[in-house]
Structure formats: C-alpha cells, structure tokens
C-alpha cells in the first residue's frame, strides 16, 4: 500500500509540474497589449498635465476615447520642446528603447521649432524646411557644440526609428493658434504643417492634417465661440479646447486607419 501511495503521489506531482510549465509557457508566449505613445510640445501636454494653469494639451484626453484594457496610452509630450530638443534631451531615446512591434507613435511638433538655434533662453530652434542642411553651433544651454538639422530631418528620425522597431508612426501637423485674418484662422500651410505632411508622405507614414482640421472647425464655430478656449494666450487651449482637439484627432485616426489602431477606439 505504501508503494502504491508513493507512486500515486509521484504521478500527481509530475502532473502538477507539467501544468505549471504549461501555464508559464502560456504566460510567456502571451503578447502584451500594444502601447500608443504620444510625443510633442505643450499643445499636446501642458505643464504637469493637471490643467492648474488653465492650459491643457489634446494628448491629455486621448485615453478617454480608447479601450485602455486593450491598449496602453502614454503621453510623453512636454511643454517647451521642439522636434530637436525632444531628441537632444534623450526623451525620444528612452521611448525608442521601449518600442515594440505593434506599438504606435503619434507626433506633433512645430510650435517651438521656429525659435533661435542658439539663444541663451532655450536654444531649441531647427532649420526651416525638410532638407539635409545643418549648422554647427555652440549650445549655451548644454555648453557644448551641436549640429542642428532641419525640422524635416528630426521628423524623419522619429518616423524611421519607429518603423525600425515595428511600430506605426503617425505624423500630425501642429494645431493652429487663435489667430484670425479676414474671418479665417491663420494656418501654417506653407511652413510647418506643409513640411510635416511632406515628410510623412516621403517616409510612408500616416498623416493627420490637424492644422487644417482644427482651423476648419474653429471657423465653423466662429471666432467668438473659439475665443474662450484660449484664456491665457493665443496658443494654449483650456480643457474644452483640448477635448475638442482630441476628438478631432480621434476622428482623423478613424479616417486614416493607421495599422489596427482604430479597433481600440471606444464606440468605433
């Protein structure tokens, strides 16, 4: 009896081990949910993202439109950055190291790229255009020499490195400011919005013409109704303006259909 009991216990033990191995194998083989990364400047995420300064970026409300049980939303946008300084500060490198196949990166830069290349306040500007021009400068912020490239060069880097990791890049043109002329919102159709579109097309990335979409919506509403969206300045929206812009981004995602991103949208 003792021998039979021992044999039975061994069978149970072996079965338990096999079951544990099977569960571990399943857990290791199970794909984690994809990540939707958001990068940009203060119009995408303002301050600490709590709106305490009455200024919100549209990226802060993207998660409200997605099933976050199936996809993670990580808003890494930060105020004051240009397409250049988001890279030179190491922010993009940290994201790039985490990128995996099936992830998404949506990017919007341009508002801060028009600044000086080497001023003592921020030194965040980029060379205008999308060419291969470069200029070596002394950066008074970092206190070292730096080769500054064009806006398009930096945008290409985001797109190419995202693709190299198997992620899906989505380029947005910058949202318009609350500037009007002859009843129309002033666009950046001949500068940063145009350059963002050109680079996206050249690199085969998805493109959302946020500059035009938001401007058209503002014009539909009228200047008087849009004005309350900008309680502090003509660039940064309040919570209502940011939510509106986030909705425009999500609707555009439904239209351009980057990868499988649309299937994660709530109520799609």
Confidence band for 85, pLDDT divided at 50, 70 and 90: very high
SS3 state at 92: helix
Q: In the numeric block, which tokens belong to residue 221?
A: 């509403």
Q: What is the phi/psi pair of residue 239, to 5°? A: -65, -40
Q: How far is it, in rounded angstroms, from Cα 235 to Cα 24? A: 51
Residue 101 CB burial class (10 angstroms; 0-12, 13-18, ≥19): exposed
The DSSP letter of residue 32 is P
For range 100-128, the mean pLDDT: 98
> What class does CATH assign to 33-264?
alpha beta
Q: How far is it, in rounded angstroms, from Cα 243 to Cα 109? A: 19
Confidence band for 48, pLDDT divided at 50, 70 and 90: confident
Percent of the chain with pLDDT over 70: 88
Parallel/antiparallel/unpaired status of strands 184-185 and 72-75: unpaired
Q: Which of 25, 233, 234, 240 is catalytic?
A: 233
Residue 210 CB burial class (10 angstroms; 0-12, 13-18, ≥19): buried
Residue written as token pair 């509106």: 244
| Residue 21, pLDDT above cutoff 50 | no
Q: Which of 41, 42, 65, 173 is catalytic?
A: 42
Q: In the numeric block, which tokens belong to residue 108?
A: 């919007």
Q: How far is it, in rounded angstroms, from Cα 47 to Cα 55? A: 8
pLDDT in tens, 163-191: 999 999 999 999 999 999 999 999 999 99
Is 48 an active-site residue?
Answer: no
The sheet carrying 104-108 orders its strands as 72-75, 35-40, 104-108, 168-172, 206-208
Is 113 an active-site residue?
Answer: no
pTM metric for this prediction: 0.87
**Residue 6 pLDDT:** 64
Confidence band for 52, pLDDT divided at 50, 70 and 90: confident
Q: How far is it, in rounded angstroms, from Cα 226 to Cα 132? A: 38
Q: How far is it, in rounded angstroms, from Cα 105 to Cα 112? A: 20
User: Which position has the higher pLDDT, 32 or 226?
Assistant: 226
Residue written as token pair 């096999």: 18
Is 236 an active-site residue?
Answer: yes
Q: Which of 47-56, 207-216, 234-243 has the lowest mean pLDDT?
A: 47-56
What is the C-alpha radius of gyration for the chain, rounded to an integer number of angstroms?
Answer: 24
| Cβ pair 149, 113 in contact under 8 A | no
For range 101-123, the mean pLDDT: 98
User: Would you list the domain boundaries of the chain?
Assistant: 1-30, 33-264
For range 139-149, the mean pLDDT: 98
């Amino acid at each position: 009896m003792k021998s039979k009991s021992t044999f039975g216990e061994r069978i149970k033990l072996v079965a338990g081990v096999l079951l544990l191995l099977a569960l571990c194998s399943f857990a290791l083989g199970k794909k984690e949910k994809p990540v939707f990364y958001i990068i940009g400047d203060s119009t995408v995420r303002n301050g600490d993202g709590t709106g305490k300064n009455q200024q919100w970026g549209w990226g802060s409300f993207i998660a409200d439109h997605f099933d976050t049980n199936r996809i993670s939303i990580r808003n890494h946008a930060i105020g004051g950055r240009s397409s250049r300084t988001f890279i030179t500060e190491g922010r993009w490198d940290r994201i790039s190291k985490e990128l995996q196949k099936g992830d998404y990166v949506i990017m919007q830069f341009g508002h801060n790229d028009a600044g000086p290349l080497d001023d003592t306040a921020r030194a965040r500007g980029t060379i205008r255009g999308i060419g291969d021009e470069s200029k070596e400068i002394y950066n008074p912020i970092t206190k070292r020499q730096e080769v500054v490239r064009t806006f398009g060069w930096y945008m290409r880097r985001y797109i190419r490195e995202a693709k190299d990791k198997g992620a899906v890049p989505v380029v947005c043109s910058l949202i318009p400011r609350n500037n009007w002329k002859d009843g129309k919102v002033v666009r950046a159709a001949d500068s940063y919005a145009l350059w963002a579109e050109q680079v996206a097309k050249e690199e085969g990335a998805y493109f959302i013409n946020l500059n035009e979409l938001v401007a058209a919506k503002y014009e539909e509403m009228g200047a008087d109704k849009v004005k309350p969206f900008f309680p502090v300045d003509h660039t940064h929206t309040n919570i209502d303006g940011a939510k509106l812009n986030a909705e425009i981004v999500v609707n555009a995602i439904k239209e351009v259909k980057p990868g499988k991103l649309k299937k994660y949208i709530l109520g799609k």
